[in-house]
Structure 1
Amino acid sequence: MPHCIVEFSQNLAQELPPMDLLEAVRDAAIASNLFTQEDIKLRAMPYKSFLTAGKEDAFIHVTLRMLSGRTEAQKQQVSQLVLDALIEFSLKDVSFTVEVCDMDRETYSKKVVLSS
């Protein structure tokens, strides 16, 4: 855990490969000392159509969905680490946002099916 979902305006893919975004988010999550690399699930979703304040302004939004039970300080720390990692790319005219969402432990289900 966590599930890290990176949403971004498709026009950024020309300047920044999506794998670079995923690796930066992964490294920031590891730096929080809340997760190991094996715990982290990452995916990127480019958006072809988008409006920010009525314009097609570039954006990167990261949602970190993690099991409930973390303190507010821990959630704020990982959020800030991810935001700092995104800003390191030195992109211009881009809106960066990070959101941490709790997943209810009591209702979360998981099953990994492996090939034989």
Structure 2
Amino acid sequence: MPHNIIEYSSELEPHIQEIIKAVHLGSLNAALFDEQDIKTRALAYQHAKLGQDSRFFIHVQAKLLSGRSPEQKTLLSQAILKQLSKLGLSAISLTVEILDIDKNSYAKQVVHV
């Protein structure tokens, strides 16, 4: 954990590797997780309507196993937002949302080749 899911305007595709690295680094900088436990992936949206001030968007959902304090969640969201802000993208809305995953129902299996 966390599972970082980046939703972004498809026009930002040329920057997606930088965006993924920024979100991953923000999660690491929060000092709540080992790097091997951070997972980051991205989904482009071709169709979106935003307010007047933004042409593009990046929205990050950081999903965590339940039990983190509000302070830890705030630390994580601010660390991710800080790294995204450093990218210097303009006409963009940057948002980060922290979501809990229920520990009791979460299942995981890693299949090795």
Regarding TM over 0.5, the answer is: yes
Percent identity, aligned pairs only? 37
Shift of 1:20: 1.1
**Matches for 1:34-49 after TM superposition, within 5 Å:** 34-49=32-47
TM-score (norm 1): 0.92
Q: Deviations over 1:50-75 (max 9, x none)?
A: 11138982000000001011100000
Q: Does 1:88 align with 2:86?
A: yes
CA distance, structure 1, for counterparts of residue 95 and residue 54 of structure 2? 16
* CA 1:56–1:29: 2 relative to 1, 3 Å: closer
Tell me the C-alpha RMSD between the 2 structures: 1.5
CA contact (8 A) 1:3 1:41 kept: yes
* Residue aligning to 1:68: 66
* Residue aligning to 2:48: 50
Any gaps of 5 or more consecutive residues in structure 1?
A: none
Q: Deviations over 1:54-103 (max 9, x none)?
A: 89820000000010111000000010010111110111110000000000
Q: Does 1:2 align with 2:2?
A: yes
Give the counterpart of 2:104 among 88, 98, 106.
Answer: 106
Matched residue count: 113
TM-score (norm 2): 0.94
One-letter amino acid of the counterpart of residue 22, structure 1: I
Shift of 1:37: 1.1
- Structure 1's consecutive aligned runs of 4 or more residues displaced over 4 angstroms after TM superposition are none
